A and B are shown apart, each in its own frame.
Chain A
Amino acid sequence: MELIIEEISRANKLIGRHKYQGDSLQIGRGYQNDLILSDPHVCAEHLQLRFDNEEQQWYVKDLQTLNGSVNGSGKPMVQEQKLNSGDVIRVGKSLLKFLSPTHPVAHSVKFSRMEHFVEFSGQWWVILGLIAAYTLISAFFNYISIDVREISYSKLFMDSLLESLVIPIWALIFAFIAFINKHEARLRSQIGVTFIIVSLFWVADFFEALFGFNTSDAISVEWLIFAMAVVLTFILLWFNFYIALHQKPARRFKFAAGLTALVYGGVLLISAGDEPEFNPYPEYNAQIMTPGFLLSSGETSEAYVNRSDELFTKAKEAANKKRDD
């Protein structure tokens, strides 16, 4: 009878897969065994397997070893017992999974659009294009912020290039995570996808500027912008994990959401900690853009000042509240 044995690491990684033909099988550290394990906690003769032709059933027995064996239900094996397909037995520090040739396998996974996107992002010409675009956009923003006449263009370009080369470091971290989990690193895909999603933050920044410029304080889009940043961060981490690890969707969601919460929780905590007890300086929205982006027709002075009633009320309430303390 055929039997398949999978050696599994304690982190649930497949180390080796062996296929055997016959009615009996011996496992241990000794060289006379059919399956030779190198784990020092395993005895020279550790497990004895036999196939009962009448019952059409495999049996397994621990050969009274030093450290014993633990069966699928987590209990030490004391006597010969039935071995069903899919059972996992622990010998020493090693895990062995026993499977019959008829053991069912999961459905095959179709190449998803996600996978196509990831593959596409990982191509050399896409990555180079993204680095070039990112560098140019950085260079543009750095250029318009320079407040002196003499500009060192080579320095400007190098600074922008360095800025854009920070992004692959992020990708490298996830490629490394994949590597230590014995998955394909897929560094190029990580770099490409990270570039694309980080660029989306610029789009978010643009909308933040546009709204901040054109709307009054009556319409606050701050929370929307914040939500957008959170969602983008989540998407970025989701893709990073998608590329790095073969996780179940629910687990991947948990990982990405958890890390996003950690990042923004930390950010909020730090900003709350930095808030002074009393701020004598006004904090206001000073967002302006070039006249081309001016979409609002503008409030009249009269309406603007009348609207300030609310400011006075708020300040008065704050003053009264503090006096009650």
Chain B
Amino acid sequence: MWKWLHPYANPEVSYHFTNKLLPWLSALTAIFLSIGLVWALLFAPADYQQGHSFRIFYIHVPAASLSMGIYVAMAIAAFISLVWQLKLADASAAAMAPVGAAFTAIALITGAAWGKPMWGTWWIWDARLTSELILLFLYLGVIALHNAFEDKNLAGKAAGILTLVGVVNIPIIKYSVEWWNTLHQGSTVSKLGKPSMSLDMLWPFIFCFIGFALLVAVIICLRFRNEILARNSIRPWVRELIQKNTVNNT
């Protein structure tokens, strides 16, 4: 397996591989996301308690779980880049941070928009919402650290350390927020009714989830490509590529 993986550690190979992968990924994303969203908005039944506001669920839940998943992926990439000094892992971690922050923001906004009709307020210091907000702060810290360094490689290493410190802290933060919440609020917020979802709700959800996950992959690929170019700007293959590109343009 290592022999098979080895060529992809080369920036040039993985740049071209990403380029080849992108159209396929984009097409799949378009298919899944359009099917999922149309199904979720038009055909999925309304919830018997929450009515049509339940349709927010089809964005909120994928965004929330992807926002955490991306952080874990970023931490794994940071770990790989710190331990094995793999430059590409560094580039992919840098590519993931803004995507994760965007999905965390979406999860927060949709959560607020769902909370207003359901709980009567835009914001509630609910454990899950609060830890999502803190996750957003962690993402913004990583992005800010990335931007603070001139040298991209140094920035990647520093942000990697911060990501790892954050990933150790996330369970602690989540647990402490949950504990704080139950202590201060009692159980005013009943868990949103999740009695084993019916199939005609589950299918559009699966489509939406896969669609959003693919969209994450597409955006990360786009950013990963840029990061590779920016980090390898003095390599001959990049110079050649740019020569070709500028000739084509003029």
Q: Do A and B interact with each other, yes or no?
A: no
Residues of chain B touching chain A, judged by Cβ–Cβ distance below 8 Å, are: none
